[in-house]
Amino acid sequence: RYFMDWKNDVDSYFTIDATEGTIATNELLDRESTAQYNFSIIASKVSNPLLTSKVNVIINVLDVNEFPPEISVPYETSVCENAKPGQVIQTITAADKDLSPAGQRFSFKLSSEASNKPNFTVHDYRNNTAGIVTRRNGYSRRQQELYFLPVVIEDSSYPVQSSTNTLTIRVCRCDSDGTIQSCNVEAIFLPVGLSTGALIAILLCIVILLVIVVLYVALRRQKKKDTLMTSKEDIRDNVIHYDDEGGGEEDTQAFDIGALRNPKVIEDNKIRRDIKPDTLRFTRHRPPAEDNTDIRDFINQRLQENDVDPSAPPYDSLATYAYEGNGSVAESLSSIDSLTTEADQDYDYLSDWGPRFKILADMFGEESYNPDKVT
């Protein structure tokens, strides 16, 4: 019987028939990754398995031409505008991923669609190199700046493999000796007489003009928007607009709200009430209050005096008087109608108000006040 000596993972690529001793592959082999395999085969006697022998087996993987040749490195090819026919502008070489045997050669030629174009051709030097040769007299950057040349490369192994590689050829400005001077984008404008500085200046001017136009349009739109908003805010009826902001109820410098409550005051009194008048303060003679004088008449009298007095503070507010005690048994408790001395007051009516006012009646009545009698 035949057995494989399983010592490493390499043995998994092959298998052996136990009876015939035939070695076969278990997986696909790749010469580019592993070119040689080394393992052991053990043979034992059927009648006596203890009788064995071992032999080393070396398997070499033969190369198969499976990869096409390609251009070895990417080339940056250029041609002068004043080039003559037959000039070699680039020399190219090829490379193959296969382990090529000694003496393998590569051939170079133009593709069928490019062979009819009278721009460039390929000259095979028969030493695994080729030259790119011009076929016309002069090239114009204005007409065409880039040329694409497809080159077909074949190898000499079996089966023959080939690939098409495209070279990019750029038209450049050169001096009389063929030295390249410029191949960039600005080269198109240089024959007109424009230098790099001139091109930069022109671009800056264009950018500045665009910025000015954008700013002008933005300002026009903003101004138009502000005008529309102002016109909408100003369309109102019977509303007085102030730029200052009031301070609430304690603000005495804001708008006189009394003008809205009593418009007749403005018609009767045209004197400005927002500043203190220069005229002397009018002397007001207050007639003494008579007995049983109605407090409402007294308030109205004081109200008229304040309305006609330009020096009555506050100068920008409305003096508001309220009437209290309406419907009350005690009527008004205001001290406005009080007399100058307590002797002139008559408090006998306090005794008619009931037991709640008994203490006040005893204190201010005709009878003398005795604290011992107060309970």
Give the pLDDT confidence of 301-310 residue by residue, as tens digits.
888 887 787 7
pLDDT of residue 370: 52
Percent of the chain scoring above 90 in pLDDT? 29
**Residues 40-92: pLDDT tens digits?**
899 999 999 889 999 999 999 988 888 899 998 989 899 999 899 999 999 99
More confident position, 231 or 18: 18
pLDDT of residue 214: 93
pLDDT of residue 215: 93
d(CA 152, CA 178): 28
- Residue 187 scores a pLDDT above 50: no
More confident position, 169 or 293: 169
d(CA 100, CA 31): 11
d(CA 330, CA 102): 137
- Residue 363 scores a pLDDT above 60: yes
Pick the range with the lowest mean pLDDT from 54-63, 85-94, 162-171, 235-244: 235-244
According to the per-residue pLDDT averaged within each range, which of 20-34, 190-204, 328-342 is highest?
20-34
d(CA 3, CA 8): 14
**Residues 99-121: pLDDT tens digits?**
665 667 899 999 988 888 889 99
pLDDT mean over 175-196? 66
pLDDT of residue 357: 83
What does pLDDT average to over the chain?
A: 76
pLDDT of residue 242: 57
d(CA 38, CA 58): 5
DSSP state of 13: G
The answer to whether the peptide bond before residue 314 is cis (omega within 30 degrees of 0) is: yes
d(CA 27, CA 12): 8
According to the per-residue pLDDT averaged within each range, which of 58-67, 237-246, 328-337 is highest?
58-67
Domain-by-domain residue ranges, the chain? 2-60, 69-181
Task: Output the CATH code of domain 69-181.
Answer: 2.60.40.60
Pick the range with the lowest mean pLDDT from 9-23, 91-105, 134-148, 177-191: 177-191
pLDDT of residue 330: 57
Q: Which long-range contacts (CB under 8 A, 24 or more apart) does 335-341 make?
A: 336/295, 336/298, 336/299, 336/302, 337/289, 337/293, 337/295, 337/298, 339/288, 339/289
